[in-house]
């Protein structure tokens, strides 16, 4: 079995396993106590904090261990926003942030705050100017991920941090996906990360808050971890997280070169091997081991199951894999195809032969899924010079399949009106038009569902 979902959770690093087992024997006592066992536990905790702070690029007393990366984001945002409440209640986030950031932003907005969402380009990257334009005199906090969790695109954190510093606004960076590859550049103010993303144990997060940042802890204040993380520290997991972060950093430069070559191979060959595929994400500014692509006329969930049967564990941002039947907010913000979406995220040490086997298996898996779908004959009617395709009640990817089947039945310059009540169609039909060089003319309300207008250009 080949595990290709390291962006969700990386396999436990051997160093993490060794450190975890060793500290179970040595680090079980309360590090706040003064007797021998407590002093021994305190030494382990201090050493772990120093190692993690060195990797982050902050002072040890600026770093707090949390119960998860999500918790670190929630605490970091809440504390920074509360600390700057007198400045204002304006928050800036990007459209492709992790759900932990977006959920905090929603809560902030519901409590009376104001949120500005900065758009991304088709590669998934924000522009520094987008944040610069969003900054206001009442901006309390800005948030930006270092790299995207779904498509791997790296963000211009250093540039955004500079414009935020010039405006006197703290920047919180979600570095969960990138911290294992290197420190985050730029004068950021707060940083959150999660150990299971770099091969540490789950249940350990990091929150770094630079000295001088106004920060007000929300909720009851505990005497541990500067009052920012209540409860007894999970010392064995913390030690393992810090040890594995140091270990992956030592390997990062060499391994990044190797994984980039493997993902470049996937990016180049998938469109050659599989027809009707869109590779998404920035082709250059991206994480070493992540590559994402979407396949037309494919049910994402069925494709993942097919690849699982072939021995590959991958993930997807496709609406077809979601219980809500809505596309990933990341793919939606980028304006790219969501149906049949596959994210391959290679863990450290992935053999090249596993990638070659994946490339051998993928075309057959996609073909099998497309055949299983048995695209139904579209129901069409003509209204004057417009062909109407009725895809009401049919889910991703059927509306696009039906559009593709009839585009050749209308003359160049004619219009097709696709009726659909599937939210994914709002993203996938425009993406299909761009891939097929047809003109997407927009949408309009219909008696039932939404009508998507497409003009045939070729």
Q: Name the residues annotated as catalytic.
A: 320
Alpha-carbon distance of 298 to 304, in angstroms, equals 10
Residue 215 CB-half CA count within 13 A: 23
Alpha-carbon distance of 135 to 142, in angstroms, equals 8
Give the Cβ contact number of residue 386 at 10 Å: 15
Q: Please answer whether residues 38 and 24 qualify as being in contact, where contact means their C-beta atoms are separated by less than 8 angstroms.
A: no
What H or E segment, with its residue span, contains residue 264?
Answer: helix 235-273
What H or E segment, with its residue span, contains residue 393?
Answer: none
- The order of strands in the sheet holding 290-295 is 277-280, 290-295, 341-345
Virtual torsion, Cα 347, 348, 350, 351, nearest 10 deg: 170
Based on DSSP, count helices (H) and strands (E) in the chain, helices before strands. 12, 17
Q: Please answer whether residues 155 and 127 qualify as being in contact, where contact means their C-beta atoms are separated by less than 8 angstroms.
A: no
Q: What's the farthest any 2 CA atoms get from each other in the chain? A: 88
Q: Please answer whether residues 417 and 426 qualify as being in contact, where contact means their C-beta atoms are separated by less than 8 angstroms.
A: no
Contacts of 223 (CB under 8 A, 6+ apart): 32
Q: Please answer whether residues 291 and 266 qualify as being in contact, where contact means their C-beta atoms are separated by less than 8 angstroms.
A: yes
Residue 368 phi, psi dihedral angles, 5° rounding: -60, -45
Give the Cβ contact number of residue 322 at 10 Å: 18
DSSP string, 268-297: HHHHHHSSSEEEES-SSSB-TTEEEEEETT
Cis omega (within 30 of 0) for bond into 378: no
């Amino acid at each position: 079995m080949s595990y290709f979902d390291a962006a969700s959770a990386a396999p436990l690093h051997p160093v993490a396993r060794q450190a975890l087992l060793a500290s179970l024997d040595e680090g079980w006592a309360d590090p706040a106590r003064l007797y021998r066992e407590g002093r021994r536990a305190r030494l382990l905790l201090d050493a772990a904090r120093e190692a993690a702070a060195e990797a982050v690029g902050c002072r040890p007393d600026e770093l707090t261990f949390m119960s998860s990366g999500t918790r670190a984001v929630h605490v970091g945002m809440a504390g920074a926003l509360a600390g700057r409440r007198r400045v204002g209640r304006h928050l800036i986030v990007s459209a492709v942030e992790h759900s932990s950031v977006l959920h905090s932003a929603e809560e902030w907005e519901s409590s009376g705050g104001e949120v500005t969402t900065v758009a991304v380009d088709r590669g998934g990257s924000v522009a520094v100017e987008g944040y610069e334009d969003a900054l206001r005199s009442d901006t309390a906090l800005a948030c930006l991920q270092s790299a995207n969790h779904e498509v791997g695109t790296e963000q211009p954190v250093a540039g955004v941090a500079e414009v935020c510093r010039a405006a006197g606004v703290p920047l919180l960076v979600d570095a969960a996906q990138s911290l294992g590859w290197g420190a985050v550049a730029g004068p950021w103010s707060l940083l959150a990360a999660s150990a299971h993303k770099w091969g540490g144990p789950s249940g350990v997060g990091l929150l770094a808050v630079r000295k001088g940042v106004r920060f007000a802890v929300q909720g009851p204040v505990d005497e541990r971890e500067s009052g920012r993380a209540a409860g007894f520290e999970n010392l064995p997991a913390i030690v393992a997280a810090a040890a594995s972060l140091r270990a992956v950093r030592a390997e990062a430069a060499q391994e990044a070169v190797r994984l980039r070559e493997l993902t470049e191979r996937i990016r180049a060959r998938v469109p050659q091997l599989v027809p009707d595929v869109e590779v998404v994400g920035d082709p250059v500014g991206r994480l070493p081991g992540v590559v994402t692509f979407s396949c037309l006329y494919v049910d994402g969930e069925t494709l993942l199951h097919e690849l699982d049967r072939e021995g590959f564990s991958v993930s997807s941002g496709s609406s077809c894999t979601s219980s809500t039947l809505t596309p990933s907010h990341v793919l939606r913000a980028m304006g790219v195809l969501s149906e049949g979406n596959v994210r391959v995220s290679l863990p450290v040490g992935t053999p090249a032969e596993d990638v070659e086997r994946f490339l051998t298996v993928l075309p057959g898996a996609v073909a099998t899924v497309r055949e299983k779908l048995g695209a139904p004959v579209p129901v069409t009617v003509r209204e004057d010079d417009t062909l109407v395709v009725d895809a009401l009640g049919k889910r991703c990817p059927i509306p696009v399949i039906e559009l593709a089947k009839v585009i050749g039945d209308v003359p160049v310059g004619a219009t097709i009106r696709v009726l659909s009540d599937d939210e994914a169609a709002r993203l996938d039909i425009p993406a299909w038009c761009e891939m097929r060089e047809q003109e997407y003319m927009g949408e309009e309300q219909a008696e039932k569902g939404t009508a998507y207008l497409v003009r045939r250009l070729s």
